[in-house]
Amino acid sequence: MKGNLLALTRYTLLRAVMLGFAVIVALYIVVLVVNMGGHLDTVRRGEIRQGVALAVTAVPENQLLPPSELSQIIERQTELAYRLYGLDRPFILRSFDYLITALSLSLGRSENLTSDSGSKQVRNILLERLPSTLVLFGTSSLILFFTSLFAALALSRRYGSWIDRAVVALAPTSSAPGWFYGIFLILIFAAVLRVLPWGGMVEAPPPKTTFGYAASLLRHMILPVAAMAAGGLLASIYARRTFFLIFSSEDYVDLAKAKGLSSRAIERRYILRPTLPTIITQFMFLIIGMWQGAVILESVFNWPGIGSLTILAVNLSDTPVILGVNVIYAYLLALSLFLLEFIYAIIDPRVRVGAGTQRRL
Amino acid sequence: MLRRLRELRRYPTAIFGIGVISILVLVSLYALIALPYSEAIRLWRGGPGVWDDNPRNAMPAWFDLFTSANLPRTVIVSTADAGVKVVEPLPDGRNRIQITLPFDYPYDGFPTEVTLFSEAVYEGTTRPRLSVQWKNPSGETLSLATNRAMRASDIYYISQDGQLMAKFGTLPEVALFSDAAMGVPASQRTSAKGEYAVVVQADVPEGGDFNAKLVVYGRVHGLAGTDHRRRDITVALLWGTPLALVFGLLAAVGSTMTTFILAGIGTWFGGKTDFIFQRITQVNMVIPTLPILIMVGQFYSRSLWLMLGIIIAMSIFSGAMVTYRAMFLQAKEAAYIEAARAYGASNFRTVFRYLLPRIVPVLLPNFVTVVPAFVFLEASLAVLGLGDPILPTWGKVIHDAQTQSALYKGLYYWVLQPAILLMITGFAFAMVGFALDRVFNPRLRTV
């Protein structure tokens, strides 16, 4: 048991280091992409110039100078400040500065956007939006995962029934993404029936009581969660059901049946157990896909999360915020991948045993 | 392989999917032939006079079939067709030109707008004066404008004339097309059907000329309706078809094939190659695709083909790489591969002749199933406002509709038509893909 734990720890650490490395490289690539065309430099220079101009004009003696002389002073000071902050160095060196600010999430100040609390720090803007994204996607991921798991188990028991055939026939509908169904759902429930809100996270003004707030939040979550379910549920039920069916035709399952074990015990021990790693992988890919789809889903439902922030930032060309969004997404993706590895290690003993030698992703 | 493909016939969904894809291909061909690129761009991007005669936000003409009413279509009458022009010389040397523009209005409901376009050719600086009269089916004559100073190319927006609005107490187009008494509210009025006429008169200096065109904008237009800029949506829906198909197929071919081959090579050689490929995959999975695409669209170019290239590049080392690698690892151990090594087959030959073909049964269904993902990805970018600046695509129509709050305004056709086309395309490929999966994976066939 102790050795087991040690192997698990070593394995987890190894994975964490590898993923950390991947995050660094990925963010470096993002920095390069953002800066192509000198966007990061322009932002930085603008920030410095503004700071210098403010500082110079704040000095009382300077205010008496003629404008041309004042601008000369600002010009000179700005040049000095550029050198101070290392903007005269080649980009290859500066790119690492950007990388470090990105990694540490000290993302500087936004150009146009402000957080609801009035801060212009990119970090505050992002952190303010993160909870709403996590609430929506956390809830729908969990609903999606457990619904599809139990529905698939139930279907594999009723193989060939009309409901099974219906799921198989309808599985291709999941080829359309969630936001796409979102438009239809808004059309039906908000525009025509007028029973559910068009979008947003809570009513305006937000309800005062905690209970009222939660109720309003739930009401606003129905459509986005339903949209995500429409975009992914049937396909995952189908895939999982097929998977269970394949595994339930194994000899050891027949043997268990012959021994007279209850169907629940068979499902748990002989079907669910060996298929779990694959199921988890599929689920993680689903979540990763959803992080990416969040951008559009949130903007369709006007959900005040990271996704709609992305659109806002893009529309306002707010480079620091765009970079920040990428950083947050990279972290979220890496975290999802790491969780996947970790759960894998717990449920699949083979992974732990071969941790040192076996190379997987 | 072919024998397997023939098995597809046993799956009704596959036949349906293939049927839909064939129809989409035919529509694409029709679009390319009937509306050549330059013509499509002209009709979509516009220019002087391209959309002037189309109604704004009109529903598709087929909407008529679902209502008992005969919804108003656009009526255009000008001196070039039914208009009657009478020229009468005046004693002061000018010519009095009177144009009668008669038209039939058999529709239920009122038009959306009424506009009079006139073109005058004259010498001198004094603008000719224009007077406009309206004759309705009951024989009444109303004066709409007298002494209107006319520009060389004059547009008289009758339905926006504030004086008329004040005079009628309701919208001019409602008052002009109904015979109810003054002061009856618009909701209680019905349109009067029959022969209308507009009489336009102007005194033009000697040698000058004058022509007029009346446009009564309807509520339905064309196969797919129009948008807020009076564009015929049919153009975008038609041209969106080949673009969606080409985009989806190219992206699917590009990414699936490359991933497949690289996974095979990586697994076969193992060691460093495999390690590097795995690290690239991991890095690539951490890079968020959509934000990167958004940045590219925002900072550099929104060209559809650049996006296509980046999407392909970013989906090579993706989750599929992991799946294929696991399969190749298994296939690598097969006895016939060892046999190939034993007789001295080169690495190249082993990979391309023996290892890769083994996984094709998995590849083919995958390939067809990912097409919709790329079709929708393009639409997603367009919906975010990062669509190609020139080409008309389905996603761009949805984007326009979203920015104009089409759903809120009840202009459902605007969103629904491109959305349903996207859905049909996606489902068709998915259906074929799912059927292929069952045909090629015998383990699935029994379940």
Which residue out of A175, A242, A282, A329 would a mutagenesis test of the B interface target, given it has the greatest number of B Cβ atoms within 10 Å?
Answer: A175
| Alpha carbon distance A205, A203 (integer Å) | 6
Single residue among B191, B217, B243 that ends a domain in this structure = B217
B288 and B347 part of one domain: yes
- The SS3 of residue B77 is strand
* Residue pLDDT, tens place only, A275-288: 777 777 777 777 77
Which residue from A78, A32, A35 is spatially nearest to A54, judged by alpha carbons?
Answer: A78
| Alpha carbon distance A307, B288 (integer Å) | 12
Of A26, A171, A311, the CB nearest to B287: A26
pLDDT of res. B22: 95
Chain mean pLDDT for chain B: 86
Local confidence band at A171 (pLDDT 50, 70, 90 cut-offs): confident
B206 and B237 part of one domain: no
End-to-end CA distance of chain B: 21
Do the domain assignments include residue B356?
yes
B282 and B255 part of one domain: yes
Do the domain assignments include residue B318?
yes
Is A308's Cβ below 8 Å from some Cβ in B?
Answer: no
Q: What CATH number has the domain bearing residue B112?
A: 2.60.120
Cβ pair A83, A44 in contact under 8 A: no
Single residue among B217, B249, B272 that ends a domain in this structure = B217
> What is the number of structural domains in chain B?
2
* Residue pLDDT, tens place only, B124-159: 777 888 899 998 888 888 888 888 888 888 889 988
pLDDT at B444 over 70: no
Residue partners of A17: CB distance under 8 A and separation at least 6? none
The answer to whether A246 contacts B422, with C-beta atoms less than 8 Å apart, is no
Q: What CATH number has the domain bearing residue B24?
A: 1.10.3720.10
**Closest Cα in chain A, distance from residue B278 (Å):** 6
**Closest Cα in chain A, distance from residue B325 (Å):** 10
B155 and B258 part of one domain: no
E strand or H helix at B202, and its extent?
Answer: strand B194-204
How many residues in total does chain B contain? Answer: 447
* Residue pLDDT, tens place only, A121-137: 888 888 888 888 888 88
Do the domain assignments include residue B119?
yes
Give chain A positions within 8 Å (CB) of B273.
none
| Alpha carbon distance A219, A301 (integer Å) | 13
Do the domain assignments include residue B19?
yes
* Residue pLDDT, tens place only, A90-120: 777 778 877 888 888 777 777 777 877 778 8
Do the domain assignments include residue B223?
no
| Alpha carbon distance B109, B192 (integer Å) | 9
**Closest Cα in chain B, distance from residue A64 (Å):** 41
The answer to whether A299 contacts B384, with C-beta atoms less than 8 Å apart, is yes
The CA distances from residue A218 to A195, A202, A223, A226, in Å, are 14, 9, 10, 12
Rounding to the nearest 10 degrees, give the CA dihedral for residues B231, B234, B237, B242. -110
Local confidence band at B23 (pLDDT 50, 70, 90 cut-offs): very high
The answer to whether B300 contacts A334, with C-beta atoms less than 8 Å apart, is no
Is A150's Cβ below 8 Å from some Cβ in B?
Answer: no
**Closest Cα in chain B, distance from residue A277 (Å):** 13
B38 and B104 part of one domain: no
Q: What angle do CA B11, B430, A286 make, to 5 degrees?
A: 130
Type of residue found at B56:
R
The answer to whether B287 contacts A183, with C-beta atoms less than 8 Å apart, is no
Do the domain assignments include residue B104?
yes
Cβ pair B108, B71 in contact under 8 A: yes
B204 and B235 part of one domain: no
Pick the residue from chain B with its C-alpha nearest to A21: B283
Is A99's Cβ below 8 Å from some Cβ in B?
Answer: no
Do the domain assignments include residue B49?
no
The answer to whether B429 contacts A337, with C-beta atoms less than 8 Å apart, is no
| Alpha carbon distance B80, B99 (integer Å) | 11
B75 and B32 part of one domain: no
Do the domain assignments include residue B107?
yes
Q: Which of residues 28-87 of A touch B (CB under 8 A)?
A: 29-30, 33-34, 36-37, 39
Instruction: Return contacts of A267-276, CB within 8 angstroms, 24+ apart.
Output: A267/A153, A271/A153, A271/A156, A271/A244, A271/A247, A272/A153, A274/A247, A275/A240, A275/A243, A275/A244, A275/A247, A276/A347, A276/A348
**Closest Cα in chain A, distance from residue B182 (Å):** 35
Local confidence band at A355 (pLDDT 50, 70, 90 cut-offs): very low
Burial pattern A43-72, b for ≥16 Cβ within 10 A else e, equals: bbbebbbeebbeebeeeeeeeeeeeeebee
B366 and B390 part of one domain: yes
pLDDT of res. B33: 92
Of B287, B369, B419, the CB nearest to A183: B419
E strand or H helix at B117, and its extent?
Answer: strand B113-121
Cβ pair B56, B231 in contact under 8 A: no
* Residue pLDDT, tens place only, B166-209: 888 888 888 888 877 666 777 778 888 889 999 998 888 887 88
B88 and B155 part of one domain: yes
CB-CB neighbours of A340 under 10 Å: 21
Q: Quote the domain boundaries for residue B261.
A: 2-43+231-446
B166 and B25 part of one domain: no
> Within chain A, where are the H helices?
2-35, 39-58, 67-84, 91-103, 122-157, 162-170, 178-185, 210-248, 251-259, 263-266, 273-301, 306-315, 319-347, 349-353
**Closest Cα in chain A, distance from residue B304 (Å):** 18
| DSSP string over B203-241 | EE-TT-EEEEEEEEE-SB-TTT-B-TT--BHHHHHHHHH
Of A33, A285, A299, the CB nearest to B319: A285
B84 and B8 part of one domain: no
Give chain A positions within 8 Å (CB) of B13.
169, 172
B75 and B178 part of one domain: yes
Single residue among B162, B191, B217 that ends a domain in this structure = B217
Pairing mode, strands B95-105 and B84-89:
antiparallel
Of A29, A174, A245, the CB nearest to B287: A29
